[in-house]
Structure 1
């Protein structure tokens, strides 16, 4: 089996940046949807629309139902169920967009433990710098962020990491079909949890009171975030090493904080800018170190001969 490339091509890196912009701005969209819909109901609607009517147009990929179920449970039932609950009054959109990026470190750690994928020294340095940025955000929590909210988002990050590992086990699968046909495995547990924790009355009232903006948020979640974002993300993960792809998601909080400040008026204090700088520096080192090293080796090659 040919080893996965250790660094993204420029074209694929730019594609990943587009996905990160969609995901980052999505935290503002989530906040809009939660104004009327209970969190688990909102998440269930998102994945229901990601499945239907797309399932009529997209064939089921050639992977096992167990694989699809594992991905659907982890990404839908785990990551977004927990994230939506946390964002329903327990954590701000900007901070949620940062803390959930712990998935980068969870993903690389799981890959190292489960498949022996090597993490190179410069990646430890890059991730350490990025962790410092996230730690700075966590240390500056206020009344708008609770320990419960932080714990939920960290659990969501771990579920995201698990989903990343699952999708890498099917590198040849059509990723759009993969995301579509994994979605019903998100819907079922989310509806079950909503019935137990929110109740049929709250679910029905939320849907009845939903505004056009609410439904636009649900549609954006289904099409932009899920069908486009996760299909491209899974495609990249299936073709490159986890350590080269996963850190790209550190751009999500940069877009998330900027969108929260622009559209929700969330304060952009100096410490947030400092944290964003650390995160961006860690990402830059992780992406550019292999290119710089390769360029240096090419320059030194003639001298060696």
Structure 2
């Protein structure tokens, strides 16, 4: 795992006089896309994990395991502590991505299906782009916003159609997850331009370790544990795959291609999760899903070509 700081800085440097603007790095797009694939498996893995653990135990234990993995990499690499000015941003990443989003989505998945949760979280790209515009002061083009809003409308319409036109308690958890995760993604993307992306999530995880270790001890004492193969595999994936690897490549990709552009790749995440929900969990897919999938893919193509 090499540092990303150099590539991130390189992607934001001004072109030399008379030269063409640097194209969006394909490697950055690939890394962000790998993050989306990893994230798309989070909900199915969480459902598996809930077979063995209660919601609070699952979230706490996954964070502890991910923090131990991250801490090992930081120690082996002899990575120095972040500068004091970065700790506030790391706290936002920790609160949004490490604690808030996993907890709220896990609570939602107790009553919502994986496919339903996937399309609600499809609003995350637009939410992240809005947070990024406020936080960084950058303003994506009108074409970018039209395509992003169109994608969000498609996702929202699909969600309401599936839920009979009303929002459930699980939906409220999911919408709360959108807000905290968008804040964490935006701050993490900003920090990934200043330090290697894997260190951003690594330090955020380590920052949460004392709290989540205490939470795991309390939750495991109160929630029953019934270990199954699915439950263990689900826990391992959400800890190592989604929380560490997924966020590592995601932040590195955002540093290379920019927060708004990377966030739009996540429009594909609900579609991938729908696929996993059918093939892995055996859920029945709505006939409206292919229509929503095609519309969302068109929006992705437009946003990736729009100047941001």
TM bucket (normalised to shorter chain) is 0.7 to 0.9
Question: Structure 2: where are the runs of 5+ without partners?
Answer: 1-11, 16-20
Equivalent residues of 2:70, 2:205 under 8 A apart? no
Query: Residue in 2 aligned with 1:72?
Result: 94
Query: Residue in 2 aligned with 1:12?
Result: 28
**TM-score, normalising length: structure 1:** 0.83
Q: Check 1:48–1:193 CA distance in 2 against 1; reply closer, same or farther (3 A cut).
A: closer
Query: Residue in 2 aligned with 1:261?
Result: 278
1:63-116 deviation line (CA, Å, top 9, x unaligned): 433332221111122111111110112x11112122113221122112222332
Deviation for aligned residue 1:36: 2.0
Other structure's SS at 1:36 match: coil
Q: Check 1:38–1:270 CA distance in 2 against 1; reply closer, same or farther (3 A cut).
A: same
Other structure's SS at 1:43 match: helix
**Structure 2 Cα separation of the partners of residues 27 and 185 of structure 1:** 24
User: Is residue 152 of structure 2 the alignment partner of residue 131 of structure 1?
Assistant: yes
Query: Residue in 2 aligned with 1:299?
Result: none
Q: 2:291 aligns with which of 252, 271, 274?
A: 274
Query: Residue in 2 aligned with 1:226?
Result: 243
Greater alpha carbon shift after TM alignment, 100-109 vs 36-45: 100-109
Deviation for aligned residue 1:16: 2.3
User: Is residue 116 of structure 2 the alignment partner of residue 105 of structure 1?
Assistant: no
Q: Check 1:127–1:187 CA distance in 2 against 1; reply closer, same or farther (3 A cut).
A: same
Query: Residue in 2 aligned with 1:82?
Result: 104
**Structure 2 Cα separation of the partners of residues 169 and 268 of structure 1:** 37
Query: Residue in 1 aligned with 2:180?
Result: 159
Deviation for aligned residue 1:138: 1.8
* Number of aligned residues: 284
**Structure 1 Cα separation of the partners of residues 110 and 291 of structure 2:** 26
**Structure 2 Cα separation of the partners of residues 191 and 273 of structure 1:** 42
Q: Check 1:23–1:3 CA distance in 2 against 1; reply closer, same or farther (3 A cut).
A: farther
RMSD: 2.7
Other structure's SS at 2:257 match: coil
- Show the 5 A alignment for 1:93-242: 93-142=114-163, 147-170=168-191, 171-187=193-209, 200-202=221-223, 205-206=224-225, 209-242=226-259
Q: 1:52 aligns with which of 65, 68, 77?
A: 68
Equivalent residues of 2:28, 2:257 under 8 A apart? no
Greater alpha carbon shift after TM alignment, 5-14 vs 225-234: 5-14
Query: Residue in 2 aligned with 1:28?
Result: 44
**Structure 2 Cα separation of the partners of residues 119 and 157 of structure 1:** 20
**Structure 2 Cα separation of the partners of residues 73 and 134 of structure 1:** 26
Query: Residue in 1 aligned with 2:6?
Result: none
Equivalent residues of 1:47, 1:184 under 8 A apart? no
**Structure 1 Cα separation of the partners of residues 22 and 188 of structure 2:** 18
